[in-house]
Every structure is written in C-alpha cells, then in structure tokens.
Structure 1
Amino acid sequence: MKKLFLCAALAVFAFSSVKAQSFNGSVSAALPMGDAGDLSSFGINLEANYLWAVSEEFNVGVAAGYHHYFGKEYSDSFAGTTITYDAEDSSFLPISGAARYSLSEEFTVGVDLGYAIGISPDYNDGGFYYAPKVQYGISEAIDIVLAYKGVSLDGGSFDAISLGVEFEL
C-alpha cells in the first residue's frame, strides 16, 4: 500500500510540473455487441478527459464519462411458449486513466482503463472498464474517434463499438 501511495504521489508531482496539457470533450454513438447487443439497440456516450504531455508523442491523464444504452424488445422461448420482454436501459459512469500515443500528425492510438460504475438498471454493479481507441485528426482541435468500449461484469461483459467526435476545449 505504501508503494502504491508513493507511486501516486510521484505521478502527481511529475504531471504537475509538465506545461503542455489539454482538456477534451467528446460525444459518440455506440452499437452494443455480444450479450449487450441482445438487450440494447443503441447507445450514446459523453466523455471528457484531461491529458498531460509526457513527451511530444505521448500523453497521459484522467477520463470520465456517461454511457447510456437504450433497451430493446427481445423474445425468449421456453417449452414451446414465446415470451416477449422489454429490456431496461443500461447506464454506466466510467472513471479511468487515459493514455494517448501520436503515430503521426493525424493518427493517435490510445486506451482508457478504469472502473465503470453501474447506474441503471438496479442490478448493474459495474465493473472493470477498458476502451482502446483510434483517433483521426480532421483539424487541430477536432478528432474523429473509433473505440471499442467494454465493461467486465459478473458473469459476462457489456461491450460496444463507438464512433464519435472529440473536441479540444
């Protein structure tokens, strides 16, 4: 525990002395996949990150967001009887560390790793959050972002592919 505290303190002091920093906001549309795709039809993600430049190509920081997935109607058959259900909407509040590496002027790869707090439905406890992404800069302050976002849940995962726009604020 002492080592973890020491590493965190060193990271804070190291990043506080770095001059180059950026604050970004993004909005994206998401298509749930796998088990999540059985219960949800579409999602909207709002995110913000604050990044510090470690080098000219590498940035690290923190990220947070709100992900909302709209439930859909699905059917289940049991003993020759089909029952139709309306799935509830699912919401997460991901809080994570963020890393970005610039491959060129236009392309950046990155990952967000952390924990997604389950907001809804009531039985959604959340889980480990991961979001690898690729960004294409269309201007100095606007990027198109393609990401695979997942939350590891008890007994499964909630995965989605998203496409959106990130703005430097």
Structure 2
Amino acid sequence: MKKLLLTAAIAVFAMMGTQAQEGLKLGAHVGLPIGDVDESSSLNIGVDVAYHWNIAEGFDLGVTTGYTTFLAKEYDLPGGGKIKGDDAGFIPIAASARYSFNEEWFVGADLGYALATQDGADGGVYYQPKVGYKFSSVDVFAFYKGISIKQTYDTPIGTIENTISAGSVGVGAAYRF
C-alpha cells in the first residue's frame, strides 16, 4: 500500500512538470514537537514540495508532499554513556488548500496521509493548518502539524488499539517558482 501511494504521488508531480510551473513551491520547515512525541523528540525538520492551481480569486487548491522527520532525543544512561532513540520520518501525501486575504496574507491547510519511512512503523492521517505572509517570491508561514497514528497490538488477552499523535508547531518558508 505504501509503495502504491508513493508511486501515485510521484506520478502526480511528474504530470505537473509538463504544465506551467507558476504554482510550484519548494520549501523547508522547522518545529518543536508536541503531543505524544514531545517526550522522545527534540526537533521536527523537513522539506516540502507543493503545486497549487488557482480555482477562484484568492483561492488555490493543490497537492503537496515532502519529507518530515522528528529527531530523537539523546538520554544519559545510569553509570555513564548516552543512548539515542530512532528518528521518526514521514512522507506526507496530501491535498492542499490556500485562501489569500490580500496580496500578502494567507491561510491554508493540508490534509492527507503520512507514510512512515521506518520498517514496521505505522503511518497516519496528516493535517497541517497554516497562516503566512507572501513576499515577492517567498512565502513565510507558521504551522501546526499533526499525524494521527493508529497502532494495533496483538496480545495473549486480545488486540489492543492505541492512537498516538506526532505533532509540531513551527515555521517554514517556500520559494514560489
């Protein structure tokens, strides 16, 4: 399933390459982990690729993907030494909407699915509302990112389901082509 979704995302972006590049955006983001990952992660960083089509005056609709990772914290061991957990990486594949209030200010939201990049890890529903400011060719924005991951464990007494939240609050910038 992961390979099928990733192949579909690559195909969508490849088709976009044959059209005018006016809605293409390449960016990066950095954030502070919140939710269930704040105990085990120290930082959220990543890169983003998006393409938007203008649907109506001030309203754009598009697709987005990229890579985001939650960097694991390092812990001191009793008796000396340190141990670091595993980073948690995701590839979001999402629909993206954006409304511009004027030539500078906008609000937006991405909604889709985030594929986990670690073997055996679960992906989850991905959502990212944002507010930003447009400069001549760069967008700067603040965001809240959430990935809602449903985990299922088989135990001797039955199946246990648990939902965890990998989230962050941060800032990002995207270059508009």
Q: Which runs of 5+ in 1 are unaligned?
A: 1-15, 76-83
Partner SS, residue 131 of structure 1: strand
Aligned 8 A contact 1:150 1:157 in 2? yes
Paired with 2:41 and 2:120, the residues of 1 have a C-alpha distance of 16
- Of 115, 118, 121 in structure 1, the residue corresponding to residue 116 of structure 2 is 118
The corresponding residue for 1:104 is 102
Match for residue 156 of structure 1?
164
Deviation at 1:21, TM superposition (A): 4.6
- Superposed CA deviations along residues 75-128 of structure 1, whole A, max 9, x for unmatched, are 8xxxxxxxx8632101000000000000122110000000000112x3421100
Displacement, 1:140? 2.1
The match for 2:141 is 145
Identity %: 37
What RMSD over aligned residues (CA atoms) do the two structures have, in Å? 2.4
* Separation (CA, whole Å) in 2 of partners of 1:117 and 1:35: 18
Give the unaligned 5+ runs of structure 2.
1-15, 77-81, 151-162
Amino acid in structure 1 at the alignment position of 2:147: V
Write the letter of the residue equivalent to 1:30: G
Residue 133 of structure 1 aligns with an amino acid whose one-letter code is: K
- Name 1:48's counterpart in structure 2: 49
1:145 Cα offset (Å) = 1.1
Q: How many residues end up aligned between the 2 structures?
A: 144
Q: Give 1:20 shift.
A: 9.4
2:136 is the counterpart of 1:136: no
- Whether the aligned pair in 1 keeps the contact of 2:22 and 2:176 (CA below 8 Å) is no
Contact 1:38-1:74 at 8 Å conserved across structures: no
1: CA distance, partners of 2:37 / 2:99: 29
State the partner residue of 2:88: 90
| 8 A contact 1:115–1:127 mirrored in 2 | yes
